[in-house]
Structure formats: C-alpha cells, structure tokens
Amino acid sequence: MAADRYLTIARAAVDEFVEKRSRFIGAIQPVTTEEEALAFIRARQKQYWDATHNVYAYVLNGGNLCRFSDDGEPQGTAGIPVLDVLRKEGLTDCAVVVTRYFGGILLGGGGLVRAYSHGAKIAVDAGGVVEMRLCLQGAVTCDYSQYGWVPAFLTDAGATVTDTQFGEAVDVYFSLPQEKRAHLKTTLIDRSNGRLEAVFTGEEWAPFPVERK
C-alpha cells in the first residue's frame, strides 16, 4: 500500500453468531493510537465482564504495530486467527474484540480457529472498509453566475466539495486526491477561460469507498 493511502474500518460495528451453543460477539473500532486501541479493549472487557473470553487483536501504523491476546483460549486458536483476518483484509488502524460465552460444547482447536476468524470477519464486514487517501485541501472563489457550474465541475474532476461560503463572492472548498491536482488546475482554467483558479491550502486524510469482492 502506498504511503499516501491505506485501508481501514469505516465505522465502529458489532455482529454475532452462535456456534454449538457458544455465543461469539465480534466488535471492531477504528483507532489511531495504541492508547485508543487499549481503551476500546478495556471497554469491551468491562461490558462483557461475565464472558468466558474476550479475545482481541489490533493493527496500527501501516501494519508495523500488531498485538493480540488469546485471553485464556489454547495458544494459537484465538488471538492469531483474529489478527490474521485483519492482515488478510489489508487493514490498519483498527482493533477487534471477539467475545465468547461458552455454551458447554468443546469446539476443538480447529473449531476455535474457525469461530474466532469468523467473529473477526463479521465485525469487519459490519464496519465496512474504506481507503484513506492523503488529499489536498483547496478552494475556488467564483461569482454567483459561475457558481452554477463550479461544484459539478469539481465533482467531475474527482474532488469532494466539503463546504461552501456565500459572501460578495462564493468560496467553494474541496478535497482532492493528490494525483488529480494537475488535471483539475488545467481543466478549471480552460473551463473558466482563465478567470478561475484552484488554490490549495493543505493536506488531510479523507475516506473513499472500496468495492469488496
């Protein structure tokens, strides 16, 4: 994954299923620091204090920081399978807790691996995946007669309009993937006969939808 983009979870989410009378609850949360990840894990442990196990894994810093816990399940049957789901999906900056209420029937090593993997996967699916891109922040200042076409032009050029302020003129603010900068600048000049210019003011991470197979 390029340095200017990465995959992560769109939103916090929870899903669950039952396997041989054991209840598994998968929860996922976007996080940006280890402190946030640990706070999320502690919150789940507090909420499900009476559960048999609260297995977790988290990935940060583009996959360079990974942690997991089996929380009492046989070694290698819980935490690593949860972490492997995050790795397989190519995700970073997120934490997962899979809670288990034991139902009285042993699942065996293979059964536990499948169950915890599934608990993580349904949490990922519920949270949705987005691609975060490092985008340019910019603005176009136009008069009211030009405002009729400027927002649509920006959208067609690959930008996302983030705000509009009306005064003596109209300031249209937008977010734009870096690779589209040259195209937007030249086409805006052409479209406005040289009267309008995009002014870029900084950078910010922004989410983009991802089509999952």
Contacts of 85 (CB under 8 A, 6+ apart): 96, 117, 120, 121, 124
Sign of CA dihedral 5, 10, 12, 13: negative
pLDDT at 80 over 80: yes
Predicted confidence at residue 21, as pLDDT, reads 94
Give me the domain span that covers residue 81.
Answer: 5-127
Number of domains observed in the structure of the chain: 2
CATH code: domain of residue 99: 3.30.230.30
Residue 55 and residue 73 in contact, taking contact as beta carbons nearer than 8 Å = yes
Shared domain check, 120 and 27:
yes
Shared domain check, 141 and 111:
no
Residue 139 and residue 173 in contact, taking contact as beta carbons nearer than 8 Å = yes
Shared domain check, 139 and 119:
no
The first and second tokens of residue 198, run together, are 């995009």
Mean pLDDT to the nearest integer, 90-96: 96
CA distance 98 to 206: 28
Using alpha carbons, list the distances in angstroms from residue 94 to 28, 87, 100, 104.
7, 11, 20, 31
Burial class of residue 34 (count of CB atoms within 10 Å of its CB; 0-12, 13-18, 19+): middle
Using alpha carbons, list the distances in angstroms from residue 113 to 84, 157, 175, 176, 181.
10, 46, 42, 42, 46
What digits encode the pLDDT tens for the residues 109-136? 999 999 999 999 999 999 999 999 899 9
What digits encode the pLDDT tens for the residues 5-60? 899 999 999 999 999 999 999 999 999 999 999 999 999 999 999 999 999 999 99
Mean pLDDT to the nearest integer, 65-70: 96
Shared domain check, 143 and 84:
no
Predicted confidence at residue 2, as pLDDT, reads 61
CA distance 161 to 130: 18
Residue 205 and residue 135 in contact, taking contact as beta carbons nearer than 8 Å = yes
Shared domain check, 97 and 49:
yes
pLDDT at 1 over 80: no
For the chain, report the end-to-end CA distance as a whole number of angstroms.
18
Shared domain check, 142 and 92:
no
Note if the pTM is more than 0.85. Answer: no
